[in-house]
Chains A and B, each alone.
Chain A
Amino acid sequence: MAGVHVSTTINGDPVEFVCQPAEVLLDVLRNRVGLTGAKEGCGTGDCGACSVTLDGRLVCACLVLGAEADGRAITTVEGLASGGRLHPLQEKFIEHAALQCGVCTPGFLVAAKALLDRNPDPTVEQIRYALAGNLCRCTGYDKIVRAVQAAAAELATDAAQAGKSGKSKKTRKQTAA
């Protein structure tokens, strides 16, 4: 079957690929683009290990066709750190031992970032429900929830400092985002 030519943006970079019409975005990312951070845990949208954002919206990459990425912007776990600095969520996951085997971690980080982007100060319950689409079999979620709380607190402190120190810092943050 003839391939589909797709022009898209992945983690801020322009990317072009050719994929089969029935090929899911997860397979494209992993097998054609070489980004293996998103994992296949189920292939049916039940585990969230392949979580990515598509134009800022959290999706399971196993339920999106590669062809649907055309003209849109994708963020994967590989796009969370900016330059040499980890995203506060990434730092807090390490600091709070919020991962054991780590295979679900990319999905959790992408989903948690999507939560904090729309709700910078979530309650424990809001965190638990926002992450209910991501399965973790190792941790019992305890340390994951705590890491997300800690990251939210740090981002709030960063934002307050950025507000105080004026415009230049804001510009830097926007570029990083």
Chain B
Amino acid sequence: MSHDASLTNRNFKVVGTRVPRPDGVDKVTGRARYGADATAPGQLVGMILRSPHAHALIRSIDTSKAEALPGVKAVITSADLPDKVNGRRDLLDILENCMARGRALYDGHAVAAVAAIDAETAKQALKLIKIDYKVLPHVTDVDEAMQEGAPIVQPWVRTAGGDPNKETNVSQISEFGHGDVEAGFAEADVVIERSYKTEQTHQGYIEPHACLASVGPDGQGELWVTTQGHYTFRNQCAELLGMEIAKLKVTSSEIGGGFGGKTHVWMEPVALALSRKANRPVKLVMTRDEVFRATGPTCSTSIDVKIGVKRDGRITGAKAVLRYQDGAFPGIWGMLGAMTSWACYDLPNVKSIAYDVLVNRPKVAAYRAPSAPMAAFAVESTMDIVAGAIGMDPVDFRLLNAAKEGTRASYGPTYGPIGIRATLEAVKNHPQMKVKLKPNQGRGMACGFWFNFGGQTCATVNIGVDGTINVSVGTVDVGGSRASLSLIAAEELGVPYETVKCTIADTASLGHNDTTEGSRGTFSSGMAIIFACRNAIEELRNRAAKTWDIPVQDVHWQDGQAVALGIQHSNLQPLTLAQIAAKSPRTGGPIAGHNEVVADGAGVSFASHICDVEVDPETGATRVLRYAVIQDAGRAIHPDYVEGQFQGAAAQGIGWALNEEYIYGKDGRLQNPGFLDYRIPVCSDLPFIDTQILEIPNPGHPYGIRGVGETSIVPPLAAIGNAVSNAVGVRLTHVPMSPPRILKAIKAERSLAGDRRVSAG
């Protein structure tokens, strides 16, 4: 679908072209510097000691032997990280996650840290730290954690709005919806109810967390770090350590993947505290084992879904009860699951109830459209079962109930122009739908939704005397956004893409920018750049007017040059941006444009995926044969990187659906903290992933951008679940659908064959 110019009133010249990315050469030659690639004179090696217990009281920590080891320059514990935030729970949780305060809350929880002259010395020092633990009962399963008598993870937690005297692992209960679902079910011809489970997965970025921290006795500091949001990291570190925000300069390195996992601090305050104590720069790099045990993961879940439907396919009632474990600290992940669960559909009666639950696992972080894939797995699997029960094609069934412009979303707002129906129409017309399947093969499809986000943004456009353009932004480039943002600046100023250089500024060089999350990078920095360019164009017009000695209102900006309007100025030749820039030292000095904005108007996005699989009935192994992603991008600024986001998100979803899972032992320890046993998809596991970019412009953005990074991780769990279920003739309800789970489901079905109950009606 081509771009609908009526909403943006614009015909683009360079936006939408597939230009080479500006950081390409650095990244293919090894020159690009990531978190672990920086060094400082006199730097020390930092290392963290982690709890081997899922839950334990820390009776005492004796660091004296470690401190006495030659070459050790600093040892710290939570005693070195006192509460500087007056008990503010959100920040204290982050600090407590960086370093246990009296109790280890999960296997891998940091308990002490050292800085030493080299890695060998630091390793020895960790072994010399003596910790007296009292092991406590633990709980790692979300359903068990909700039961009466379950071990309590955080004694201070009370259910928000609940009994103020009752200790609990349920930190909040959220409810969304409208209408009367019970009346809706009563009205239905068929009611289907199913329960689902999904296991915990990790973002799996290839670059482990890494930083280089330096704090002097004058209270000034610098931090080089791999992060999705260096301003957020600066603010969190400064607040947690009692530093002044302006005196901590944070520079974001190239980032080797984040997917939500690098949105808040994990060990950066520890590195800064070590540096402060040792008065030397400290480099702290996590091992892969640490990354798995102590950072990132998304929730495991347990979800019930109930759908009531008329024989004609119209849904009369829809309800989901969602239980999300947030790790050892309260989170909002269940709430987000509830908000996203029914967002694809136009429903008269709908309700979602979510429980956010604490367990003895790592603090959950955002993972690409956080919480939506699990809810979509449960809802979209049930949608297929319902379609089957009433004998309707699953795509037609979804189309009949799909949300449209004016639909009141289940989570509250009323939609503007949206793309769900367009993606479903595209599924119907997709050539993959016509490929004939062989025995043991199955096809599935599913839909997904994500909000997208705007947030605080700041950009500067500086015009050099040779007419080249420096664009400074503060949203970290996680996947090629410097190319997209350069295209936007070139488009707005009317100059060639090659003349624009986009840089991610450090925190001392540009105003605050929110973290690159919620698919906001190109959306929000794009918006700020457009406004900053318009600001610069004002000045370019002023300078042209000054040069010509005519009123500025007679100067028009067109195709990268100032044009004098009116017959009285017909003798004036247009002045190009480069000509105006060359004169700038004599016409008033440097020319720049700035913009600071809260980038409101983020546009929701939808995707529909089609998946063909083949399941080996002997081993239970699943192979993805064909995969297609159809998603609404609003406007695709750089189509290559939009496709790349679609493909990458689908691949992560495929891994989640089929292989990836945190496996905890009875002792509460993570059994597979490495890429050998936590197996993400490799090149030979996947087919080419077909993509179709739809462009239904977002009226909330000058160029119609919606944000594209997250939505396509939402459908794969369900699309594959539906495909596998169709291939083996058994409904799979537990993700990942690993070979043992598929075999178990097939065997259970065989033993039930004959007296199988069809739970329709």
Contacts and interface: CB of A to CB of B under 8 A. Distances in A.
A43 B119 CA distance: 14
A78 interface: yes
A10 interface: no
B165 interface: no
A101 B479 contact: yes
A33 interface: no
Given A140-B650, A143-B647, A102 B684 contact: no
A115 to B, nearest CB: 11
Residue of A39, A80, A133, A142 with highest tally of chain B CB at under 10 A = A142
A103 B689 contact: no
A171 interface: no
Residue of B24, B204, B640, B641 with highest tally of chain A CB at under 10 A = B24
A37 B31 contact: yes
B467 interface: no
Residue of A101, A133, A144 with highest tally of chain B CB at under 10 A = A101
B208 interface: yes
B208 A41 contact: yes
Contacts of B120: 20
A106 B681 CA distance: 19
Interface in A86-103: 86, 89-90, 93-97, 99-103
B33 interface: yes
A131 B28 contact: no
A134 B204 CA distance: 13
B250 to A, nearest CB: 19
Contacts of A138: 257, 479, 644, 648
Residue of A96, A131, A137 with highest tally of chain B CB at under 10 A = A137
Interface string B295-306: 000000000000
A145 B683 contact: yes
B207 A128 contact: no
Contact of A100 (B28, B648, B674, B689): B648
A142 B628 CA distance: 12
Interface stretch (B15-23, B177-185, B424-432, B507-515): B15-23
A106 B256 contact: no
B29 A86 contact: yes
A93 to B, nearest CB: 5
Contact of A135 (B203, B206, B478): B206
A106 to B, nearest CB: 5
B683 A94 contact: no
Nearest to A103: B256
Contact of A102 (B254, B651, B652, B683): B254
Contact of B206 (A38, A43, A137): A137
A90 B30 contact: no
Given A40-B208, A95-B20, A103 B28 contact: no
Given A37-B31, A104-B206, A143-B647, A44 B674 contact: yes
B25 A135 contact: no
Contact of A103 (B20, B206, B675): B206
Contacts of B681: 140-141
A129 B212 CA distance: 37
B267 interface: no
Given A39-B256, A129-B684, A80 B479 contact: no
A145 B256 contact: no
B648 A140 contact: yes
A169 to B, nearest CB: 24
A102 B27 contact: yes
A90 B27 CA distance: 9
B480 interface: yes
B288 interface: yes
B32 interface: yes
Given A40-B208, A135-B206, A143-B647, A35 B686 contact: no
A49 to B, nearest CB: 6
A17 to B, nearest CB: 15
A8 interface: no
A133 B32 CA distance: 22
B37 interface: yes
Contacts of A28: none
Contacts of B686: 128, 140-142
Interface in B633-692: 640-641, 643-645, 647-648, 650-652, 674-676, 680-686, 688-689
Contacts of A133: 682
Contacts of A46: 288, 674-676
B684 A132 contact: yes
A42 B675 contact: yes
Nearest to A141: B683
A101 B33 contact: no
Interface string A55-90: 000000000000000000000111011000010011
A35 B30 CA distance: 8
A139 interface: yes
A106 B28 CA distance: 6
A36 B30 CA distance: 7
A109 interface: yes
A25 interface: no
Contacts of A96: 640
A129 B684 CA distance: 5
Contacts of A140: 644, 647-648, 650-651, 681, 686, 689
B714 interface: no
A152 interface: no
Interface in B93-128: 119-120
Contacts of B29: 37, 77-78, 80-81, 86, 90
Contacts of B64: none
Contacts of B36: 30, 36, 39-40
A143 B648 CA distance: 10
Interface in B217-274: 254-259
A161 to B, nearest CB: 23
B12 interface: no
Nearest to A44: B674
A105 interface: yes
Interface of B: 18, 20-21, 23-25, 27-34, 36-37, 119-120, 203-208, 254-259, 285, 287-288, 478-480, 640-641, 643-645, 647-648, 650-652, 674-676, 680-686, 688-689
Which 10 residue pairs of A and B lie closest in terms of their CB atoms, listed nearest first?
A37-B30, A103-B256, A140-B651, A102-B27, A97-B640, A140-B647, A94-B24, A46-B675, A100-B479, A90-B28
Given A103-B256, A140-B686, A145-B683, 6 more contacts: A97-B21, A99-B27, A100-B480, A101-B207, A139-B648, A141-B651
15 contacts: A20-B120, A41-B207, A43-B287, A80-B28, A94-B21, A100-B478, A101-B479, A104-B256, A105-B28, A132-B682, A132-B685, A135-B206, A137-B206, A142-B688, A145-B683
